[in-house]
C-alpha cells in the first residue's frame, strides 16, 4: 500500500505503466487476489478485505491521476494555439437584391439633393388615406385594401409609402425634397406579387414654382442613371393625391424573350406613378397651396430588382433560398 501511495506517474505513459503494474491482468492486485486461494480459511476474510482496500486504493489513485493528466493535456493544447494564425472565414451573408435596388434608387436621388425620410409601417387612417385626399368611402380606397388592426380603430398596415409625404409636410415647411423607402402591405390574393408585402420608394419635392417639367426631368435623370438611358414615356393616369397624374414607363423593347415577357409584349415597362401634388393635400398638411407647388412619385422596388438583375420570377426574391441570394454577395 505504501508502495502505491509513493508512486507518482507524471506522464500518460507512466500512468499507463502504473495501471498495468497494479491493475492489469498480470498486475499486482490480480496476483494477490489469486493468492487468496492459498490463504488459510480463517484468514481469508481479513485478507479479502485487505485486498479490496488495496484494489480500491489503486483504482482511486489511477482515476485521480488520469483526471489531472487529462486536464494538463487540454491546457497545453490550448496554450499551443497559434493566436496569430488567420481565422477560419466566417460566412457574412449578402445584401438582398431588393435592398441593393432600394439603395441604388436612394443613391441616385441623394445626388439630386433628396434626403431620406421615414414613417411607421403601422399607420393611421389619416396619413395613409384621408390626408392623401382619399376620404372614407372614396372609391379609390378599393384599389388599396389592407390589414386593419382589430383592437385599434383606424390603424392599419400602410398600403403605400405616400403617408410619409403627409408626415413630413405636417412637420416642416418647404423647401422639401425627400425620398422615403420602405415596406408596404396590401390584402391582395390575386396578384403577381403572390404575397401581401412589398417595397416602395416615395419621392416628394415642394417649393415655389415647381412645375411638371421639373418632375419630368427628375424622373428622366433617374431612369437614365438606373437603367442606362432608355426612353421614358408619361401616360396620363389618376391618383387621388396628385393632379394631373401620370404613370412612367421605360422602354425595354421586345427583342429578348425576357423583355417580351416583362413588358407583356408592349416593350414598355411601368415603373412608377407620379404627378403634381394636389393642392388639397398641401392644405391638409398645413402648407399654403397658393404659394407652394410640388411633385410626388411612388415606385415599387421588386419589379426594378427583376429588371436590374434579370431575374425571371418575382417569387424567387422571397423564397429565401441562399443558393439564389448568394449570387448577389458582391452587390452593394
Ligand atoms: N402611392 C401610389 C401607389 O402606391 C403611387 C404613387 C403615385 C405615389 C403617384 C405618388 C404619386 O407619390 O404622386 O400606387
39 band by pLDDT with thresholds 50, 70 and 90: confident
Q: In the chain, how many domains are there? A: 2
Same-domain check for residues 240 and 297: yes
pLDDT digits (tens, 9 = 90+) for 123-156: 999 999 999 999 988 888 877 888 888 899 899 9
Identify whether 282 is part of a domain.
Answer: yes
pLDDT in tens, 218-242: 999 999 999 886 799 999 999 999 9
Same domain, 277 and 313: yes
pLDDT, tens digit (0-9, with 9 covering 90-100), for 192-217: 545 688 999 999 999 999 999 999 99
Residue 176 and residue 59 share a domain: no
Residues with C-beta less than 6 Å from any ligand 1 atom = 160, 162, 202, 239, 242, 273-275, 296-298
Is 91 inside any structural domain? no
The boundaries of the domain holding residue 231 are 97-120+172-181+199-331
Confidence of residue 305 (pLDDT cuts 50, 70, 90): very high
Q: Could you tell me if 176 and 50 lie in one domain?
A: no
Statement to judge: residues 235 and 292 lie in one domain: yes
The reply to whether 222 falls in a domain is yes
pLDDT at 1: 66
Torsion of CA 20, 22, 27, 28, to 10 degrees: 160
Measuring from atom 7 of ligand 1, which residue has the nearest CA? 273
Sort strands 176-185 and 268-277 into parallel, antiparallel or unpaired: unpaired
Average pLDDT over residues 85-113: 91
Cα separations in angstroms, 206 against 243, 288, 299, 311: 14, 11, 18, 36
* pTM, two decimal places: 0.73
> In whole angstroms, what is the distance from residue 19 CA to residue 194 CA?
71
Q: Identify whether residues 73 and 101 lie together within a single domain.
A: no
> 128 in a domain, yes or no?
no
d(CA 111, CA 113): 5
- Asked if residue 227 belongs to a domain, the reply is yes
Domain end among 13, 48, 77: 77
In a domain, 52, yes or no: yes
- In-domain check, residue 132: no
Taking alpha carbons only, the member of 254, 256, 234, 255 closest to residue 246 is 234
Q: Is pLDDT larger for residue 93 or for residue 208?
A: 208
- If asked whether residues 116 and 24 sit together in one domain, one would say no
- Assess whether 204 and 72 both reside in one domain: no
Specify the CATH number for the domain of residue 220.
3.30.930.10
Q: Are residues 13 and 115 in the same domain?
A: no
Work out which ligand 1 atom sits closest to the CA atom of 202.
12
> Same structural domain for residues 107 and 50?
no
**Residue 137 covered by a domain:** no
Dist. CA 299 → ligand 1 center (Å): 7
61 and 104: one domain? no
Q: Ligand 1 centre from 37 Cα, in Å?
A: 102
Beta carbons of 185 and 158 less than 8 angstroms apart: yes
Ligand 1, from 160, 179, 186: best to mutate by most atoms within 8 Å of Cβ? 160
Looking at the fold, whether 242 and 296 belong to one and the same domain comes out as: yes
Amino acid at each position: 500500500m505504501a508502495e502505491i501511495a509513493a508512486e507518482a506517474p507524471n506522464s500518460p505513459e507512466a500512468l499507463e505503466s502504473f495501471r498495468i503494474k497494479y491493475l492489469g491482468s498480470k498486475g499486482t492486485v490480480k496476483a494477490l487476489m489469486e493468492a487468496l486461494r492459498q490463504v488459510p480459511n480463517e484468514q481469508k476474510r481479513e485478507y479479502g478485505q485487505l485486498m479490496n482496500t488495496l484494489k480500491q486504493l489503486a483504482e482511486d489513485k489511477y482515476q485521480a491521476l488520469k483526471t489531472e493528466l487529462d486536464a494538463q493535456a487540454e491546457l497545453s493544447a490550448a496554450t499551443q494555439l497559434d493566436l496569430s494564425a488567420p481565422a477560419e472565414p466566417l460566412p457574412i451573408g449578402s445584401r438582398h437584391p431588393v435592398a441593393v435596388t432600394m439603395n441604388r434608387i436612394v443613391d441616385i436621388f441623394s445626388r439630386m439633393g433628396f434626403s431620406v425620410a421615414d414613417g411607421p409601417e403601422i399607420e393611421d387612417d389619416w396619413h395613409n388615406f384621408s390626408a392623401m385626399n382619399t376620404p372614407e368611402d372614396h372609391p379609390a380606397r378599393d384599389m388599396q385594401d389592407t390589414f386593419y388592426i382589430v383592437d385599434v380603430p383606424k390603424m392599419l398596415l400602410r398600403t403605400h409609402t405616400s403617408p410619409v409625404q403627409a408626415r413630413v409636410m405636417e412637420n416642416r415647411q418647404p423647401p422639401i425634397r425627400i425620398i422615403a423607402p420602405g415596406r408596404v402591405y396590401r390584402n391582395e390574393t390575386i396578384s403577381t406579387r403572390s404575397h401581401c408585402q412589398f417595397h416602395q420608394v416615395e419621392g416628394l419635392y415642394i417649393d415655389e414654382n415647381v412645375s411638371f417639367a421639373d418632375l419630368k426631368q427628375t424622373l428622366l435623370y433617374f431612369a437614365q442613371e438606373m437603367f442606362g438611358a432608355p426612353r421614358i414615356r408619361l401616360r396620363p393616369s389618376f391618383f387621388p393625391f396628385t393632379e394631373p397624374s401620370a404613370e412612367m414607363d421605360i422602354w425595354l423593347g421586345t427583342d429578348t424573350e425576357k423583355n417580351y415577357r416583362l413588358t407583356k409584349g408592349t416593350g414598355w415597362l411601368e415603373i412608377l406613378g407620379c404627378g403634381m401634388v394636389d393642392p388639397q393635400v398641401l392644405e391638409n398638411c398645413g402648407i399654403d397651396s397658393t404659394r407652394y407647388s410640388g411633385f410626388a412619385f411612388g415606385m415599387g422596388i421588386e419589379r426594378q430588382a427583376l429588371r436590374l438583375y434579370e431575374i425571371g420570377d418575382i417569387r424567387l426574391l422571397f423564397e429565401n433560398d441562399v443558393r439564389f441570394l448568394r449570387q448577389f454577395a458582391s452587390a452593394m
